[in-house]
Amino acid sequence: MPGNSGLDPLPTGILSDIPEMSAPFAHVKPLATDDGHLADQAENVMENLEKAFPVSWEQFHRDARALAWRLAGQGPFQAIVCITRGGLVPAAIVCRELEVRLIDTVCIASYHEYKTQGTSAVLKEIDSKVKEIGEGGKGVLIIDDLVDTGKTARLVREMLPNAHFATVYSKPQGRPLVDTFVTEVSQDTWIYFPWDLGLSFQPPISGGKG
């Protein structure tokens, strides 16, 4: 049943405690993107820090390995399809842990505002050789960093309806489309991934007055 695998217990030490989502990361700021929409959206969300969930590289690595641990009993998988761009990093970690060598990508571009979901376009299809694996993608593992509203997941599901879909994080609207995940956050939580963040200088509290 999609989504149930995310509730399975993990062995001690494989996944550390998730930090409080209200903890402000004063030393990080969102990086500008090619289209600029991510930076604009992130600026709005940072005004409401209790809804922000910053994830460090170390934490993401732990969470992705925890996902691989959950998936180890679901295989074997003959191929991994990662949804770009967010699925690239977790797919690299999962394929290493599960020793899967056949890796493909599917590119779905979404154009939307922070509170409204717009149109999506398939920029790159799944390779025909991967589509031929199993029946409807059985034996194929689809990886993404996050399932949000489920719009992207639904498009990829239509391509490989019998593939195993896994994400590191999930939100309630998209959770029914996912077979395995690690952590669920509320729908209005904004997850800041480490590749979207950068360090910034913070002036002294005194304002530099000595």
Residue 148 known to be catalytic: yes
Q: Considering the domain boundaries, does residue 106 fall inside one?
A: yes
Q: How many CB atoms lie within 10 A of CB 39?
A: 14
Q: Is 133 marked within a binding site?
A: no
Residue 144 known to be catalytic: yes
Q: Considering the domain boundaries, does residue 25 fall inside one?
A: no
pLDDT of residue 205: 82
Q: Answer for the pair 179, 67: CB distance below 8 angstroms, yes or no.
A: no
Among 186, 193, 184, CA closest to 6:
184
Q: Is 69 marked within a binding site?
A: no
Q: Considering the domain boundaries, does residue 73 fall inside one?
A: yes
Residues 6 or more apart whose CB falls under 8 angstroms from that of 39 comprise 30, 31, 32, 33
Pick the catalytic residue: 148, 179, 188, 196? 148
pLDDT of residue 128: 94
Structural domain of 73: 30-195
Q: Is 86 marked within a binding site?
A: yes
Q: Considering the domain boundaries, does residue 125 fall inside one?
A: yes
Model confidence, pTM: 0.72
Q: Considering the domain boundaries, does residue 9 fall inside one?
A: no
pLDDT of residue 81: 98
Bridging pattern class, strands 103-111 and 140-147: unpaired
Q: Is 191 marked within a binding site?
A: yes
Handedness of CA 43, 46, 48, 52 (dihedral sign): positive
pLDDT of residue 210: 53
Q: Is 151 marked within a binding site?
A: yes
The CATH number for 117's domain is: 3.40.50.2020
Residue count of the chain, please give it. 210
Pick the catalytic residue: 17, 34, 35, 144? 144
Q: How many CB atoms lie within 10 A of CB 73?
A: 9
Low-confidence ranges of the chain (pLDDT < 50): 1, 3-5, 11-37, 39-40, 42, 45-46, 113-116
- What's the CA gap between 7 and 107, in Å, rounded? 28
Q: Is 122 marked within a binding site?
A: no
Residue 104 known to be catalytic: no
pLDDT of residue 132: 93
Q: Considering the domain boundaries, does residue 21 fall inside one?
A: no
pLDDT of residue 103: 97
The tally of domains found in the chain comes to 1
Pick the catalytic residue: 63, 104, 145, 196? 145
Which residue is listed with tokens 């030490």? Answer: 13
pLDDT of residue 200: 76
pLDDT of residue 198: 83
Q: Considering the domain boundaries, does residue 83 fall inside one?
A: yes
